Structure 1
Amino acid sequence: MSVNNPLLPLLADNRTLILDGALATELEARGCDLTDPLWSAKVLIENPQLIYQVHLDYFTAGAQCAITASYQATPQGFLRRGLDEQQSLALIAKSVQLAQLARSDYLALHPQALPLLVAGSVGPYGAYLADGSEYRGDYHLPQQEMIAFHRPRINALAKAGVDLLACETLPSYAELLALLALLQEFPTLGAWFSFTLRDSQHLSDGTPLKDVVAVLEDNPQVLAVGINCIALENVAPALQHFAPLSNKPLLVYPNSGEHYDAVTKTWHQCGDQQGHLVNQIASWQRTGARLIGGCCRTTPADIRAIAEQCKA
């Protein structure tokens, strides 16, 4: 069976694929209290209509790919809330259905739009721990236990009909290997892999990026590689290091320009960052970035600016 690669037609003719922006911080901006281990997955229970609206607003802003609200949605996490596995898997499927509904509603009004994708978010084990370790990678599980942790969510996302997986904010080489092994159970499903970094040449757990790319490069289920949820000033050096290592399409969706304190779970402004993200798009494209969007604290307005910049 061949791998489905929905990115190919959208990246033809050297085009840039516009990803969406932040979900959790956008939900917070619209009144949600996410001071909870479930983070944005909490809203799947309490106010799913708002998740639909954020997806729709990103499509309206020019995004061509919605990333589902499943980053922190796992049966293990929902169990803490008293939900059984069947209820948990239904919520993970709902995260896909909300994005798919936003897509169909947008296309009903804009039938000439390019195809739009829904990527199923697969956050790291560190996100489930809710202790900031997705930025450190200092957690350890035997590979089979790591695979068992990720399998129910990926299975639910696949059954719900995602176009691809977004294995994102990954800090750990061992977890990457577990996800690649698990992906073999879904042979037609492709994924992008994006990482958090210690510096421009190493994963958060210290693994050299050259070792990371080496296990990704010849895998047909790996559709794109890159970085997300990192500070703006770290993007260009990381892309410059990634570019000569990989022939895969490069993706980048960094934070807005503010810095996150994983201990206090607060954001801090670092100088005048207004317009800073969009001002870097052209240089990222020159370095080889083909999929560009935003992560924490970015908004539909940021995605609209990125889309307009890429069209220009």
Structure 2
Amino acid sequence: MKSVKLIDGGFASQLSNYVGDVIDGHPLWSSYFLATGREAVVQTHRDFIRAGADIVMTNSYQASVGGFMEYLNMDYDSSYELIKQSVEYVKEAIELESRNTNVQNKDILIAGSVGPYGASLRDGSEYRGDYAETVSEATMADWHRPRIQALVEAGADILAIETVPASKEARMLCRLLREWPNQKAWLSFSCKVDRS
């Protein structure tokens, strides 16, 4: 039997301990702090490592090149680099915590967090998936590709493709992942309950 791995969780909730209650309502959600709160992001990762996480996810669920360009007035290259930086912040936290006797010699994996296309729409559709009825697979692939590429380039051990609410997007993501044949990934779903 393979060993059980503990994943971190509730990043925005833990981050709010360091930045105040200013996360909800911002279009970039907690990924805004990749640009403005490096120390808080690193400290949040450190908290999860100290709590025993074997897998630490990047603060990139809501991150996208287009989102950073629109809401942080960054150019394409700077936006791309900021997504890569999300991996570097986890690496920094691991390095800082490696001196802790509970963490020494522990192989902590970095999971590059990839939220669904709907998270960029800021209307809750990442939970409903209704955007998949009108947004083409090509548009979704073009939106996901640079963020996935940035996470892979930066050295994420695995991609955590999270809370995908539409099978159309999930199928597209599985095809898109073929562009990185050696990259490990998991895909989780957000399922809608039909209460008819």
Pair in the same fold by TM > 0.5: yes
Please name the residue that 2:8 is paired with.
20
Please name the residue that 2:107 is paired with.
115
Please name the residue that 1:239 is paired with.
none
**Shift of the alpha carbon at 1:143?**
1.3
Please name the residue that 1:281 is paired with.
none
Higher strand share: 1
Q: Secondary structure at the match of 2:192?
A: strand
Alignment pair present for 1:170 and 2:170: no
Alpha-carbon displacement from aligned partner over 1:115-173 (angstroms, at most 9, x marks no partner): 10000000001111111111101103211111111000000000000001000011011
**Shift of the alpha carbon at 1:32?**
4.8
Q: TM-score, normalised by structure 1?
A: 0.58
Please name the residue that 2:118 is paired with.
126
Structure 1 distance, partners of 2:55, 2:94, is 9
Indicate which of 46, 68, 71 corresponds to 2:58.
Answer: 68
What RMSD over aligned residues (CA atoms) do the two structures have, in Å? 1.5
The one-letter code matched in structure 1 to 2:185 is A
Structure 2 distance, partners of 1:21, 1:77, is 23
Q: Aligned in 2, Cα 1:109/1:26: closer, same or farther, shift over 3 Å?
A: closer
Equivalent pairs counted in the alignment come to: 188
Q: TM-score, normalised by structure 2?
A: 0.91
Structure 2 distance, partners of 1:45, 1:32, is 17
Greater Cα offset, 26-35 or 15-24? 26-35
**Shift of the alpha carbon at 1:114?**
2.8
Structure 2 distance, partners of 1:123, 1:144, is 17
Greater Cα offset, 117-126 or 79-88? 79-88
Higher helix share: 2
Structure 2 distance, partners of 1:162, 1:170, is 20
4+ runs deviating over 3 angstroms: 110-113
Structure 1 distance, partners of 2:51, 2:85, is 23
* Structure exhibiting the larger radius of gyration computed from Cα positions: 1
Please name the residue that 1:158 is paired with.
152
Please name the residue that 1:248 is paired with.
none
